[in-house]
Amino acid sequence: MNLALFDLDNTLLTGDSDFEWAQFLISKGVVDRELQEAKNIQFYEQYKAGTLDIHEFLAFQLAPLARHGRAELDAWHAEYMARHIRPIIGEAARALVRQHLANGDLCAIVTATNTFVTGPIAGEFGIPHLIGTIPAVDVASGQFTGAPAGTPAFREGKIGRVDAWLEERGLWWGSFAESWFYSDSHNDLPLLEKVSTPVAVDADETLRRHCLAHGWQQLSLR
């Protein structure tokens, strides 16, 4: 058995699901456009530079979930999928996932984006497992709290989360003849260096240089 792991934003998607969710909320009048867009630019520049404080980012991105009921959020998400996500899923990305699934590989999306946003996206690809940042839920009300639960799936945190996920299944890295991780970002270098076959997908400049220096495979899904 082999293992295939996929980053989501700007990898399987030709865009960023967190950004698109924010744009959707802006279009609904749920969040302030000027503030949201300014913070998105700030966080994105930090992400590109490798200096993003994931906890500061999550505090901002998860806050809207805490202000609305789950039924309303779920209804919004269905609209968001139709308007913002399906248009940025290319056939090449779908074909890559289908090939790994057809080969019988154990497949998972591993993303820093929260699982409320990304759960239905994993389903759209037919990927059975999602390792994402988990939004905390108030047990009594069932509402999101606006904080993350556990370790965010970001940078080295992705390795810890994948380790735990494998352990739950009685597996470890040595259980697989081959393992892949597909990502666009240098922020994913820790997990890319963990697998037997790292693959850069439409890589950022830092990751592209790393690939050239280490002979890693590169491809485009756009």
Residues tagged active-site = 7, 9
Q: What is d(CA 150, CA 131) in angstroms, rounded to the nearest whole number?
A: 12
Residue labelled with tokens 């759960």: 119
Residues 6+ apart with CB under 8 A from 206: 50, 186
Cβ–Cβ under 8 Å, residues 4 and 180: yes
Q: What residues does 43 pair with on adjacent strands?
A: none
Cβ–Cβ under 8 Å, residues 133 and 154: yes
Q: Across the chain, where does the E strand assignment appear?
A: 3-6, 106-114, 129-137, 144-149, 179-183, 197-201, 217-219
Residue labelled with tokens 């520049």: 45
Q: Across 82-126, where does the E strand assignment appear?
A: 106-114
Closest CA to 6 of 151, 118, 134: 118
Tokens representing residue 179 in the block: 């393992």
